[in-house]
Structure 1
Amino acid sequence: MTLFRLECRTHIKTLVIWIVVVGVLTLGLVSLFPAMKDMGLQQMDLKSMPKDMLKAFNLSDMAALATIKGYFGYEYQYIVIATGIFAAMLGTNALAREEAEGTIGYLYAQPITRLSIVGSKMLANSLLYTVYWAVSMAIAFLGCILFKESGASVHGLFKSFAQLAFSGWVMGLTFLVFGFLLSSFLSTNKSATSLSLGVVFLTFILGVVGKMNDDFQALVFFSPVDTALPSTVFKNGIEWNYIVTDLIVIMVSCLLTFWIYKRKDLKV
């Protein structure tokens, strides 16, 4: 429990910074909706672009941009990608940081096992991510209520946001736990940020390729971001096949992390 509290205190400043930045960015994007709606962007001529490309970047239904759900669904996908990066960074830094900073010796001096170290850190970082995502969703929902078009259903928005909140939470946990798996191999956290960016953008690109070419459609299952794409969730609800895939990745990554870290030669 001491390690759990220590891990939370270590990242509290980073958590606040991310919440503030993402919150301000979200409100800024949503506040542009009335002006964008008046510009009639839903009538933009995109016929010259391939339909598969429009589908891959969630622009196949331009008319939906005239609604707050459609507009938010398109704009917020970039926040979802940033969320994946935040979660991955938490995970990839968690275990490697102790060796890099030399604090693993202090942990070893405590009556705590390696499995307890991994478990406490996973729980602490999962809590941090959950707080970040819950606050981010609350800010986004409030923004959509404030700037929605007249006649938009608040109940409908709440239902859609509840589905997005769950899907996004699972997506973030997938990147977080996979980050832990990567961290179990590392002895320094110098490459943690670049690894986090690489994992998130690589999986996102796999999802784009899968949606552009039917022959590679299976690649979408390697893209956790597609689990929580707001435009898809708002239109079709929760994609349970993606959720199940992410849960399998979480379970396997957890087990492998515990197994690898227990047998790892640590630099004390």
Structure 2
Amino acid sequence: MNIFRFEFKRLLKSGIVWSLICGFLIVLFMALFPSMEDMGMKEIVNSKMQGMSVDLLKAFNIDVAVDFTNIFDYLGYAIQYIAMASAIYGAILGVNSLIREESQGTIEFLYSKPITRTKIVTSKLLSIVLIFLMYIMIIGILAMGICYIVKPEDVTVIDLIIKIKSVFIGITLIGFVFMSLGLLISSIIKSDRGAIPISIGIFFVSYFIGMIGKLKESFEWLKYISPFDYFVPSNIMKNGFELKYIIISVCIIVICVISSYAIYKNKDMNI
């Protein structure tokens, strides 16, 4: 029995739906870009932001010098919401990965086959990783396409490709971090009841902790508990990646995956 193939087919439909919805949102956001300059959006936004504190703007990942007539500033602001959705999707894939058979009672069927628990975890992990990479590829192609259509003449295609590629590498890392956290939770819980709220909760709890960390310098250390803040799209396009956040992300992923294998291998199943 090929668990990987079965899991991939099972997740394919929902993966395509997520890809199309998020891709459509990117296209919708970027389709509005050409009208920004005509509407005097820069002046409007600047006048509104002057009434807000710098710390509050930073909490929402908005630079005080943001220029919505600049395609990269606009893309960095717009695509952060897709990055949030991607983190949640990664968490959902992770949380639902190992618990489904146990919750639905089909784990007994798997045990009737010559399949080890290690192989079960590996097959399911590979399937959700591949589905997520497919999702990233689809929305990345759509983002590249619409940005090419609406880009100003002074923006080169090479610059566009480099910036968008960097942003989507960051989104992929965010997704993998939350996926690994979801996988760890999936190896612990006994039922898939409430799995989606758990997935959403994982992200938003960490996100709001990160917001608090940006409001006051004394709480800045809280940003390390918020994986989303490791790879904020607007920051990546301006400053690139920070090595410390890449190292932390890799450590989280490795620890969560290894722990998931260990816990699932010794878990008492509901058969």
TM range (shorter): over 0.9
Q: Aligned-pair distance for 1:62? A: 4.5
- Which residue among 218, 235, 238 is the counterpart of 1:235? 238
Counterpart in the other structure of 1:117? 120
* 1:211 corresponding residue in structure 2: 214
CA deviations 1:184-239 (Å, max 9, x no partner) are 11121111100011011111112111122111111112212123321111111112
Quote how far apart the aligned CAs of 1:63 are: 4.1
Partner of 2:14: 14
Give every structure 1 segment of 4 or more consecutive aligned residues whose post-TM-superposition deviation is greater than 3 Å: none
* Structure 1 position 75 matched with structure 2 position 46: no
Q: Is 2:249 the partner of 1:246?
A: yes
RMSD: 1.3
Asked if 1:193 corresponds to 2:196, the answer is: yes
Q: Which amino acid aligns with 1:199?
A: I
- The equivalent of 2:34 in structure 1 is 34
Q: Is the 8 A contact 1:89 1:193 kept in 2?
A: yes
C-alpha distance in 1, partners of 2:34/2:64? Answer: 18
Instruction: Provide the rounded CA distance (Å) in 1 between the counterparts of 2:190 and 2:66.
Output: 50
**Secondary structure of 1:187 counterpart:** coil
Alignment of 1:127-206 (within 5 A): 127-206=130-209
Q: Which moved more, 1:190-199 or 1:237-246?
A: 237-246
TM-score, scaled to structure 2:
0.95
TM-score by length of structure 1 reads 0.96
- Match among 258, 263, 267 for residue 260 of structure 1: 263
Q: CA deviation at 1:263?
A: 1.0
- d(CA) in 2 for partners of 1:137, 1:37: 25
| One-letter identity of the residue aligned with 2:60 | F
In structure 2, list runs of 5 or more residues that go unmatched. none
Q: Distance in 1 between matches of 2:66 and 2:163?
A: 19
Q: CA deviation at 1:177?
A: 1.0
**SS of structure 1 residue aligned to 2:170:** helix
The separation in 1 between residues aligned to 2:87 and 2:23, in whole angstroms, is: 16
* Cα distance, 1:149 vs structure 2: 2.0
CA distance in 1, matches of 2:137, 2:232: 16
Q: Mean Cα displacement is larger for which, 169-178 or 220-229?
A: 220-229
Report if the CA contact (8 A) 1:93-1:192 is conserved. Answer: yes
* Distance in 1 separating the partners of 2:165 and 2:26: 17
What is the alpha-carbon distance in structure 2 between the residues aligned to residue 121 and residue 17 of structure 1?
20
Unaligned 5+ residue runs, structure 1? none
Task: Report the Cα offset of residue 166 of structure 1.
Answer: 1.6
- Is the Cα contact below 8 Å between 2:54 and 2:64 reproduced in 1? no
Q: What residue identity is the alignment partner of 2:245? A: Y
2:14 counterpart letter in structure 1: T
Distance 1:238 1:157 in 2: 17
**For 1:140-180, what per-residue CA distance to the aligned partner results, in whole angstroms no more than 9, with x for missing partners?**
11111111123112211111122112221111111111100
Amino acid aligned to 2:24: V
Q: Distance in 2 between matches of 1:67 and 1:222?
A: 31
CA distance in 2, matches of 1:62, 1:140: 24
CA distance change for structure 1 residues 59 and 40 in 2, over 3 Å: closer, same or farther? farther
On the 8 A contact 1:168/1:227 being kept in 2, the answer is: no
**3-state secondary structure, aligned to 1:66:** coil
- 1-structure distance, mates of 2:264, 2:3: 17
What percentage of residue pairs aligned between the two structures are identical? 34
Contact map agreement 1:114 1:262 (CA 8 A) in 2: yes
Worse-matched range after superposition: 233-242 or 61-70: 61-70
Range that drifts further, 199-208 or 59-68: 59-68
Number of aligned residue pairs:
268
Residue 250 of structure 1, CA deviation = 0.3
